[in-house]
Amino acid sequence: KKSLVWLRRDLRLHDHYALSESLKNSDETYVAFIFDSNILEKLHNKNDSRVTFIMDSLKEIESVLNKHGSSLIVRYGNPVEEIPKIIEDFKIEALFFNRDYEPYAKERDQKVEKDLFKKGIHVFNYKDHVFFEKKEVLNGQQEIYKVFTPYKNKWLEIFHAQESRVPEYKGDLKKLAPYKNSKNILEHNWYYDICFVETESALKGGALEAQRRLKDFKNRIEDYKTARDVPSIDGTSLLSPYIRMGNLSIRDMIRASIEKKSEGHQTWLSEIIWRDFYQMILDAYPGVDTHCFRTEYDQIKWLGKKEDFEKWCNGETGYPLVDAAMRCLNTTGMMHNRLRMVVASFLTKTLLIDWRWGERYFAEKLLDYDMAANNGGWQWSASTGVDAQPYFRIFNPYNQSEKFDPKGDYIKMWCPELAGFSSKTIHHPHDSTPLEQAAAGCFVGKDYPHPIVAYKEQRERALSMYKAVK
Ligand code: FAD
């Protein structure tokens, strides 16, 4: 029997549920990847570094397949049309893939399944991308959790009840189909001609690089609990783009998180559970994609100004920590978790701008962009989401700066014009005296902007904006 494994956001050949099942149950397994034109045509930049990251991953997969006498089938187009074409071209009898919980992906996969079913092709899909799915972690009333801590406790209870067993899905690659792609993606970058310009990616994609980084993080994981809140150091794993594209499996991460019982390990596992939580929420409530989870907040009259949004995007708000974080995002496609919370809170509760604008901007820029985590993070910060912080809890950007970047090390990395300020003045340089500004070699209003809004006044406006819909 000939089968096809359709790779999507699981760009690896190890610990891959659909692949291992196909290898076990078929005589010959083909592997395919479709550059989805529905997604790619919506991208703003034709030189999006996420595509380069995907290419790194595909090239690595291709070289492993080549070693086993096989090749990756690569197409560009609408998967709803391309998958049936591949099935026909290669006389495939069964399709295997791992489930994806984003609304677009679910609709696409249903269409493919329906079409293939009519043609008598078997379709098998698997839970691979999360550890527990929607219906596996339920409360006493058999409903899904809408608050994280009880969800996490239940998640851990089920996990420990199965003796913390983390399956590893292996398969015999000798059973890959003998095949040579005439448009070998390693030799000829034909896809660039169609849609993309080659760019430098801030990070190299691929399972090898992912494993290297995971190994490196294991040396630091014990310090994670304290180090994870300091943006100026590499205190977190920086693995999110790799788990996003599936260069790592979620089980790779969970295995690493239970190797020891330190506080660092446990805290890291807790973050991974947040990931499952938000995937589950998006799966159960696909409407959060465009609507507030707490529907009453859809009535908010956002008072902010478009020009302030642009200044936020460009890192020109006059709030040093916010500006540093946004400039980092614009340059690297990455942003530290603490700073994501700071800039999201700043956009919604200080600039009074709809969270959806910020969410879309992150979606365009983040190398690890993941709809479930991004939407969850934004709605948490805007207090409109599931288990969000209460609306009256508003991050003070100055306090956040003093607390998490006390010496201004992070600010100096991304706002070099502020490097001459002391650790006392760098968080609010506009409050410094002309003499201090002269000594720092930076005049506020000339070399660095004045704050575009006054935090205290905006805080009051935010409170009444939210109160109005309560
Ligand atoms: P680590 O601290 O090492 O955590 C390990 C892994 O756990 C991460 O790689 C990630 O997969 C997962 N994780 C950690 N924190 C969260 C969280 N709060 N929610 C869900 N998963 C989590 N994460 C994304 O992967 N993609 C996004 O698009 C995204 N957008 C966000 C937007 C906002 C406004 C906020 C507040 C958070 C967002 N996050 C997003 C969550 C978090 O900021 C990133 O996962 C984290 O910064 C990635 O860095 P890391 O791999 O070093 O994380």
Q: Is 268 annotated as a binding residue?
A: yes
Question: Rounded distance, CA 281 to CA 286, Å?
Answer: 8
Catalytic residue of the set 184, 302, 330, 417? 302
pLDDT confidence of residue 198: 59
State the pTM of this model: 0.96
pLDDT confidence of residue 157: 97
Burial class of 66 by CB neighbour count within 10 A (0 to 12, 13 to 18, 19+): middle
Amino acid at 327: R
Candidates 368, 369, 371, 378: which one to mutate for ligand 1, based on the most atoms within 8 Å of Cβ?
A: 368
Instruction: Write out the two tokens for 155.
Output: 């998640």
Place of tokens 């679910």: 106
The CA distances from residue 117 to 21, 83, 126, 287, 369, in Å, are 19, 13, 17, 28, 32
Give yes or no: 357 in active site: no
Answer whether 207's CB lies under 8 Å from 12's CB.
yes
Burial track 233-250 (b if 16+ CB lie within 10 A, e otherwise): eebbbebbbbbbbbbbbb
Å from CA of 79 to ligand 1 middle: 28
Give yes or no: 380 in active site: no
Residue owning the nearest CA to atom 45 of ligand 1: 240
The values of phi and psi at residue 356, to 5°, are -65, -30
Listed as ranges, residues in the chain with pLDDT below 50 are none
pLDDT confidence of residue 55: 87
Catalytic residue of the set 25, 78, 337, 396? 337
Give yes or no: 302 in active site: yes
- pLDDT, one tens digit per residue, over 223-237 is 999 999 999 999 999
Question: Rounded distance, CA 313 to CA 362, Å?
Answer: 10
Give yes or no: 355 in active site: yes
Burial track 29-59 (b if 16+ CB lie within 10 A, e otherwise): bbbbbbbbbeebeeeeeeebbbbbbbbbbbe
The values of phi and psi at residue 237, to 5°, are -80, -25
Domains of the chain: 2-127 (3.40.50.620), 130-168+206-284 (1.25.40.80), 295-467 (1.10.579.10)
pLDDT confidence of residue 83: 98
Burial class of 294 by CB neighbour count within 10 A (0 to 12, 13 to 18, 19+): middle
